[in-house]
Amino acid sequence: MIRLKPIQGVAFAIGVALGGLGYAQTGTVDTNKATAPDSAHPDRSAASSTDKSTTSRGSMRSDKSAKASDNLPRADRNFIEKMAQHNLAEIELGKVAEKNASSDEVKRFGREMVEDHTKANEELKKIADSKGVTLPTEPDRSHRRALDKMQKKTGADFDRDFVSDMVKDHKSDLKDFRKEARNAKDPDVKSFAEKNEATIQKHLDMAQQMENSTKVSSKGTERSSSTGASGSRSPSSAASGSTRSPSTTERSSGSSSSNR
């Protein structure tokens, strides 16, 4: 038994050594596993990088839009926002005119309003997007009230009121376009005002011509009704004249018989 003790000590030492080696190997393996996921799944790493890149580009675009918006003079910003509202209202009014007007001329004018103001608004939207300005997409409350009022009218009443409104609106718009064409600081806004000023002038000329023709036709109607009224009195006058004729004839015949 005494001889076996050294052998057991050696065996115990060898076991401890082997255990330490296993622990060291286990620790090495765990460390490698901890650093492995990115290399083991390259798609995850790429996706993370793409997300960061997309976020960065989005923030850069946002920053650029904000800077462009800040650099746009207030007067130019107010002009494009106001004209966007007017375009939307004129488009809707033109559609109503196509349905409710009695005059073919007014209907044609309504169609032209829809076409021209749609083109102008598309051009204006491109400019606004480049400047970081968000334009309205539907008429505001005041324009909506005017639209609702016109939708209830038809025939000659609609023609008269629609044409009158178009003259007033386009006179106001023409002043704004001329002012912006002269004074705009932003070159894109200035170019838009210069280009579309002629279109507003054309619409105003057409509306004024229709307004004049409407006034002439209404005066003609008044004259014809007045003439009709005076003509209706003529038969009574003629009738009264015919009733007086016999008495005159009788007096004439009486006097001539007395002379005899």
Provide CATH code, domain 73-216.
1.20.1260.10
Please give the residue that has the higher pLDDT: either 121 or 231: 121
**Mean pLDDT, range 75-84, rounded to an integer:** 96
> Taking 50 as the threshold, does the pLDDT of residue 260 lie above it?
no
Contact 135, 125 (CB under 8 A): yes
- Which pLDDT tens digit goes with each residue over 205-246? 999 999 998 775 655 555 555 555 555 554 444 444 444 444
Q: Backbone phi, then psi, for 120, in 5-degree steps?
A: -65, -40
Q: Domain ranges for the chain, please list them.
A: 73-216
For residue 140 the two structure tokens come to: 């505001």
Contact 121, 67 (CB under 8 A): no
**Mean pLDDT, range 1-5, rounded to an integer:** 46
Q: pTM surpassing 0.85?
A: no
- Which pLDDT tens digit goes with each residue over 127-145? 999 999 999 999 999 999 9
b vs e for 169-180, b when ≥16 Cβ sit within 10 Å of the residue's Cβ? bbeebeebbeeb
Predicted local distance difference test score (pLDDT) of residue 67 = 53
| Amino acid, res. 122 | E
Q: Backbone phi, then psi, for 153, in 5-degree steps?
A: -100, 155
Distance from C-alpha of 93 to C-alpha of 139, rounded to nearest angstrom: 11
Q: How far is CA 160 from the centre of its chain?
A: 25
Terminal alpha carbon distance of the chain: 202
Nearest to 186 by CA among 120, 122, 133, 134: 133
- Which pLDDT tens digit goes with each residue over 146-170? 999 999 999 999 999 999 999 999 9
For residue 249 the two structure tokens come to: 């004839």
For residue 246 the two structure tokens come to: 């016999």
At 71, is the pLDDT very low, low, confident or very high (cuts 50, 70, 90)? confident
> 13-27, 36-50, 183-197, 208-222: which range is least confident on average?
13-27
Predicted local distance difference test score (pLDDT) of residue 259 = 46
Contact 74, 91 (CB under 8 A): no
